[in-house]
Structure 1
Amino acid sequence: MLLIKNGKLITMAGIYEQTGDILIENGKISQIGTVGAVPADCKVIDAAGRLVTPGLIDAHCHIGLLGINSPAEVDGNENTDPALPGLRGIDALKWNDVTFDVAVRHGVTTVVTGPGSSNIIGGTFTAIKTAGKDPDSRVISQEICMKMALGENPKVNYGKRDKAPKTRMMNAAIMREQLFKAKEYHKNYKEHGNDPDFPFDFHMHSLMRVFDGMRVKIHAHQADDIQTAIRIANEFGLRYSIDHCTDGYLIVDELVKNHVQCLLGPTVGGKGKFETRHKTFEAGRILEEAGVTFGLITDAPVVPIEGQLLQAALYIKNGLSREMALKCLTINNAIITDIDSRVGSLEPGKDADVVIWNVDPLATMSQAGIVIVDGEIIYSRKAGESNVDYQKL
């Protein structure tokens, strides 16, 4: 049992910078507000008026799959076929990747990580905690979303080898073709899946789950690619998000009309390719004013995961509200990846993933003091660096 006292709580569930307590039992939040008597063996952290938030979430990254030390460790893109929905990001995950430790030290307790964007259909993302006693305990969902991609990455990757796709037309055609096949396979499987001679297809069996409600993450930067993604998603009745959505602010009425959920970023850094030429930190303000549901992502290691808070601060500098920025790092990212029943807010029954901040997370010198994952103190700044006190009562 763990009690956090006197914190300035930002719960993402109706409490914003109000002093209160959090009681944690068996890895879950059991009480929020004013907690009375607790057992004598309860560990207590006196947050002393510091900000206390849910653990941060990066809803689109590739950490654990795109190695940082050696090409031999780069496993995020299977460049042998543009449509491979049977791939699973979790099968390439390096659980001891040093980036997970970096994430923890910067308050990121959950990541949704998976294949890159070289393929039109690249396989499934996994949702995992950045720390835990063992790999199994860290998994929220082995396969949470199906990754798809439009734009220059797949067409350049295969086109330079004189293979399809070489154009955006073929990008869309391959995506449609695979979805048509999966829809037909899904229908046949529902009717004849138990027949001994049913023609099982591993990749179609994976992709057909999008017709049972599995969310699709569609990589798209340019406005035309975003519009194509919306068009195809509507044709097939998909649950989806537009990931990166760089030009989304330019067609914000289309996003609103189609109730599109977006994961925006990475925005820190240069405009490294043509399709990101309209990248701007004003996009957050425009999406917020329009009422679009969106989150902020790093695409790590494209932008280091410790850059998540820096991005949010720069969005605020360009007009995004502070409260929305925090939502975009927590509950919105959870909602858009279907993990909000477990993480993203501080509420009774949810996982006890909590950060006590020594310095405001949206300040330039942001500093996580204590990071808690599943009710366990995973990280605490060294003596002399933090004056948050915790002791046994």
Structure 2
Amino acid sequence: MYLIKNANLLSMADINYEITDILIDGKEIKKIGKLNESDYPQAKVIDAKENYVTPGLVDPHCHIGLYEESIGFEGSDGNEMTSPVTPELRAIDAIKPQDVAFIEAREHGVTTVVTGPGSANCIGGTFTVIKTYGKTIDDMILVPEISMKMALGENPKRVYSSKSQTPATRMATTAVIRDALSKARDYKDKIDEYEQNRKANKEAKKPEFNMKWASLARVFDGLQVKIHAHQQDDIVTAIRIIEEFGLDGTIEHCTEGHLITDYLKEHNQQVIIGPTLGSKSKYELRNKTFESGRILKEAGIEFAIMTDHPVIHASSNLTQLGLFVREGLDELEAFKAVTINAAKITKIDHKVGSIEVGKDADIVIWNGHPLHYMTKTQMVMINGEIIHQ
């Protein structure tokens, strides 16, 4: 049990605190408010000394653990570039908990990551939600499979045109995705029909198991899809796919989303923007700007901000965030984009993203303002355990 005293708390919840205390028991936050040490004699007291205290940062889209640092090919497991449709792949089968990137991420306040396959394939497999601390992947998992990765635009057409294989155009990429979704839906219909007949004691033959379509069919039962799309045309295509098949989807990167805010608003589309730090390394990024956060916020569009690690290292999360603030995004709204909004959009806000009673005790004490370039983490707690101090 821990009692954090004198916290200048930025809870990211709809409750405003000034200097307050936080009680942690086991893995959870138990109480928030003015608390007397004498009431909790078994608690280890941590004096925050009126420093800023925030929830651990949440990275809603990255590939940490799938591209192990300092290794190269042997540690590169983020893209299976042998087939454009691989929904049966799972990030949890490739993540390396010993990757030094996890240490650096948590030492910089990142406690939860949504990580998964890259964008080489039209459909690449499932993302997972993990904490950034643990000896094995089983120690780290919060949600084994949270979403299905899909990709539009340059990446899949570049990978497969080089193999003289479909898709080599945006038309083909979209057709491949639509074909796969149609087959998965048909497969699900057959399974559902079989189950209904079996429950009604009718004679029924179970369809032959198909791992590919069984995995993808879960998007029709609520498994979220994450669709990689940078350009305006690809963003609109992604929304067309989402609506045609009745999917729960987010637009990932959404680099030109700030140019079509009316369209995003009309379709009530959630987006995860970034990475914005760094060079415009390809044509799709020509309109990349740190003004996008302010523009999306002013348009009333809900968004989160990603690092896309290793494109931007997870440890540089707040460095990037500060540049969004410099270009007009409100400080509190910026911080929400890497905490509670990131958690809400990826459907994990019941566990992480804010400091509230009942949530996981993922807590960071900073030695200055979190967005100041000189600030460091003074203490990082994950699941109620101090893992960096």
Measured against the shorter chain, the TM-score band is over 0.9
2:99 is aligned to: 97
Match of 1:136 among 132, 135, 138: 138
Q: How does 1:75-224 map to 2 (within 5 A)?
A: 75-132=77-134, 134-193=136-195, 197-224=206-233
Query: What CA distance in whole angstroms lies between the structure 2 residues aligned with 1:364 and 1:39?
Result: 36
Deviation at 1:137, TM superposition (A): 2.8
Distance 1:366 1:201 in 2: 51
Q: Which of residues 250, 253, 274 in structure 2 aligns to 1:244?
A: 253
Aligned residue runs from structure 1 range 255-334, under 5 A: 255-334=264-343
The answer to which of 253-262 and 28-37 deviates more is: 28-37
Report the Cα distance in structure 2 between the residues aligned to 1:154 and 1:38, rounded to whole angstroms: 59
> What is residue 389 of structure 1 aligned with on the other side?
none
Q: Secondary structure at the match of 2:103?
A: helix
Secondary structure, counterpart of 1:359 in structure 2: coil
Contact persistence 1:124–1:143 (CA under 8 A) = yes
Question: 1:378 and 2:387 equivalent?
Answer: yes
For the pair 1:21 / 2:30, whether they are aligned, the reply is: no
3-state SS of the aligned residue for 2:188?
Answer: helix
Question: Displacement of 1:187 after TM fit?
Answer: 1.2
Query: What amino acid sits opposite 1:30 in the alignment?
Result: K
Q: CA deviation at 1:165?
A: 0.4
1:117 to partner: Cα distance: 0.1
Write out per-residue CA displacement over residues 95-122 of structure 1, whole angstroms, 9 at most, x where no aligned residue. Answer: 1110000001100000010100000000
Q: Which residue of 1 aligns with 2:360?
A: 351
Does residue 34 (structure 1) correspond to residue 43 (structure 2)? The answer is: no
Looking at structure 2, the residues matched to 225 and 301 of structure 1 have their Cα atoms a distance apart, in angstroms, of 23
- Provide, for residues 203-236 of structure 1, a one-character-per-residue CA deviation record: whole Å limited to 9, x for no partner: 1000000000010000000000000000110001
For residue 134 of structure 1, report the CA deviation from its aligned partner: 4.5
**TM-score where L is the length of structure 1:** 0.95
Distance 1:315 1:70 in 2: 32
> What is the CA–CA distance in structure 2 between the aligned matches of 1:99 and 1:163, rounded to whole Å?
35
- The whole-number CA distance in structure 1 between the counterparts of 2:385 and 2:334 is 26
Q: Distance in 2 between matches of 1:304 and 1:252?
A: 28
Superposition deviation, residue 15 in structure 1: 3.4
1:360/1:367 contact within 8 Å kept: no
Unaligned runs of 5+ in 2: 199-203
Alignment partners' CA distance in 1, 2:123 and 2:49:
49
What secondary structure, in the 3-state scheme, does the structure 1 residue paired with 2:97 have? Answer: coil
8 Å contact kept, 1:17–1:51: no
- Displacement, 1:16? 4.3
Instruction: In structure 1, list runs of 5 or more residues that go unmatched.
Output: 381-393
Percentage of pairs with the same residue: 52
Which sits farther off after the overlay, 145-154 or 31-40?
A: 31-40
The match for 2:347 among 319, 335, 338 is 338
**2:5 paired residue number:** 5
Matched, 1:74 2:76: yes
Aligned-residue offset at 1:197: 4.0
SS in 2 for 1:64: coil
Q: Secondary structure at the match of 2:14?
A: coil
Is the Cα–Cα contact under 8 Å of residues 153 and 234 in structure 2 kept in the other structure?
yes
Moved more, 7-16 or 310-319: 7-16
Q: What letter corresponds to residue 74 of structure 1 in structure 2?
A: S
TM norm structure 2: 0.96
Number of equivalenced pairs: 380
> Aligned to 1:190, what secondary structure does the other structure show?
helix
Deviations 1:167-219 (A, max 9, x none): 00011101111111111111111111565542211010000000000100000
Deviation at 1:133, TM superposition (A): 5.8
| Farther-moved stretch of structure 1 (9-18 vs 210-219) | 9-18
Counterpart Cα distance in 1 of 2:149 and 2:332: 29
The answer to whether the aligner puts 1:48 opposite 2:49 as a matched pair is yes
Aligned CA RMSD, in angstroms, stands at 1.2
Distance in 2 (CA, whole Å) between partners of 1:235 and 1:120 is 17
One-letter amino acid of the structure 1 residue matched with residue 182 of structure 2: F
SS in 2 for 1:219: strand
Indicate the SS of the match to 1:199: coil
2:221 partner letter? D
The residue identity in structure 2 corresponding to 1:237 is: G
Distance 2:289 2:154 in 1: 19
CA distance in 2, matches of 1:107, 1:285: 24
* Secondary structure of the structure 1 residue equivalent to 2:106: helix
